Structure 1
Amino acid sequence: MKQISLIVLACFFSNVSAHAQDFAAFQAKQLIHRGDTLPYRILYPDGYDPQKQYPVLFFLHGAGERGNDNASQLTHGAALFLKDSVRQAFPAIVVFPQCPTESFWSNVDIQSQADGRREFSFRTGGKPSEGMRLFLRLVKHTLRNEAVDKSRIYIGGLSMGAMGTYEALRRKPRLFAAAFAICGGDNTFNVKKYAHVPLWIFHGEQDDVVPPTHSHAIVAELKRIGANPKYTFYPTANHNSWDAAFAEPELLPWLFSHTKM
């Protein structure tokens, strides 16, 4: 029995070590600007050559992964980009910034209702939040200092990060070649500013954290003004619709197929 326990423990620690080693491929860095710090992790393609140019994907995490440990932001999505098949098929620079604990990626007011639900009010203007301000500075830094193909810059995010994705598209409408947003939301008055950007929207119809009506409204407005967004609504998924979205076999082929003219 003791021998079996030792074998189990050995396997457990081996798996933990392998997991940690995998995520260590995302190099830990920091952007420091005027006394503020934005932690981020960056994954370079296998055989990265700074003399070449690579597409870059910025991924914005949800509210639960805020902080300054420079690790929590890898909780959702990072494993997808570490798959050998993905790294071979889509050699790209992948960046996971971490939003400060007291900030948000987007300018959104959240009010708790008596029934326990939350009401989201998305703004149409104003200065960016601290998180968004630092993120936009990171984008500028990355494009200046990494071997980036500036015609293939992408962004995606989930929940709070999807809200930040819409805001980044609004603030930098000429920058991104394509984007995806999972269980997010935005003010429909903002939609016209990024209607030209290829966009794939995901949401769970049973989401009791961020209502799917927000994504439905964005899709409806994009269609109304003549855009042709991709969208996938999962009938039985709750808030963690990102599990299903990351499992979509066409997500990355679709994303990386776009080039900004």
Structure 2
Amino acid sequence: MGNQFLRFFILIGLLVLQACSAQSHLVLDELETVTKESLKYYLYYPKDYFSSENEEFGLLLFLHGGGESGQKMEYIKHNGPPKLLAEGMQFPFLILAPQNPHAQKWWNTEAVAQLLDSVVDANRVDKKRIYLTGLSRGGSAAWEMATQYPDKFAAMAVVCGMAPLPYAHWINKKMPIWVFHGDQDDKIRVEESDGMVARLKEMGYDVQYTRYKGVGHNAWDRAYTTDSLYTWFAKQKQID
């Protein structure tokens, strides 16, 4: 009886080992999957775009915050450059404003980069004058895009976004940066921008910082109505 039990235990052990071996083999196989993201977007053309057949224009990529994510497209017009466009403001460059389709998820920055490339290729865009900006969750995504695609943007403005300090080591040192944040922000604390700006300056980056006193999370109303922000963008061009 004891020997029968021992043989049964050994048999079970061999089966377990064989199963583990098979699972290990499956894990080591080379597998592949393809993921896709569907992005809706607004695209603004400056008034001179269609009257000039050969001129190339700059392009500003705007990434909205969490409040507009997963909502109707109309929500994008609530803040930032799209709001100013809806109010009749004119810009000297194209503006691309995609929507994050997920209410709770972060931006899919790879999908945004693919969209940006397709828009640039289909229009008369000067690839040396592509600008990046974002607010709140979109500001965090802007920092991420600056690290993932360091050679794509001529300038970047970030409004109250999370800013992981290690990103500073991967951002293109030739790209000018303008950071905005309210010192009473209770959603994304101002220390995020404080730390990143200090690190960038320490490393010799061209960065300027507007730190609003007494302003909470909504620093974007003041930041995006700063006229000098857009003249600053328009002056930037990538250096070879």
Please indicate the TM-score interval, normalised by the length of the shorter structure: 0.7 to 0.9
Report the residue type matching 1:136 in the other structure: A
Q: Which amino acid counterpart does residue 183 of structure 1 have in structure 2?
A: C
Q: Give 1:68 deviation, angstroms.
A: 5.5
Within the alignment, does 1:80 sit opposite 2:84 as a pair?
A: yes
Q: What is the Cα deviation at residue 57 of structure 1?
A: 0.4
Give the whole-Å Cα distance in 1 for the aligned partners of 2:199 and 2:36: 40
Q: 1:234 to 1:37 in 2, by over 3 A?
A: same
Q: Quick check: 1:74–1:96 contact (8 Å CA) kept in 2?
A: no
User: What residue is the counterpart of 1:120 in the other structure?
Assistant: none
Runs of 4 or more above 3 Å deviation = 33-36, 81-84
Quote the residue 1:157 is aligned against. Answer: 134
How many pairs are equivalent?
Answer: 201
Q: What residue is the counterpart of 2:156 in the other structure?
A: 179
Equivalent AA in structure 1 for residue 105 of structure 2: S
Structure 1 residues 196-227: Cα deviation after superposition (integer angstroms, max 9, x where no partner): 31000000000001000000000010011112
Q: Does 1:66 align with 2:69?
A: yes
Choose from 50, 54, 57 the match for 2:57. 54
Aligned position for 2:101: 100
1:55 counterpart SS class: strand
SS at match of 1:186: coil
Identity rate of aligned residues, in percent? 31
User: Residue in 2 aligned with 1:205?
Assistant: 183
C-alpha contact 2:175 2:206 (8 A) present in aligned 1: no
Q: TM-score, structure 2 length as denominator?
A: 0.78
Hey, what's the Cα distance between the residues in 2 that align with 1:163 and 1:230?
17
Match of 2:229 in 1: 251
Counterpart-to-counterpart distance in 2, 1:35 and 1:222? 34
> Which AA in structure 2 matches 1:231?
Y
Which protein has the bigger helix share? 2
Task: Supply the AA of the counterpart residue of 1:193.
Answer: W
Q: Which residue does 2:202 correspond to in 1? A: 224
CA–CA distance in structure 2, aligned partners of residues 198 and 175 of structure 1: 13
Q: Distance in 2 between matches of 1:80 and 1:74?
A: 8
Residues in 1 aligned to 2:35 and 2:113: alpha-carbon distance in whole angstroms: 14
Q: Relative to total residues, which structure has the larger strand share, 1 or 2?
A: 1
- TM-score, normalised to structure 1, is 0.72
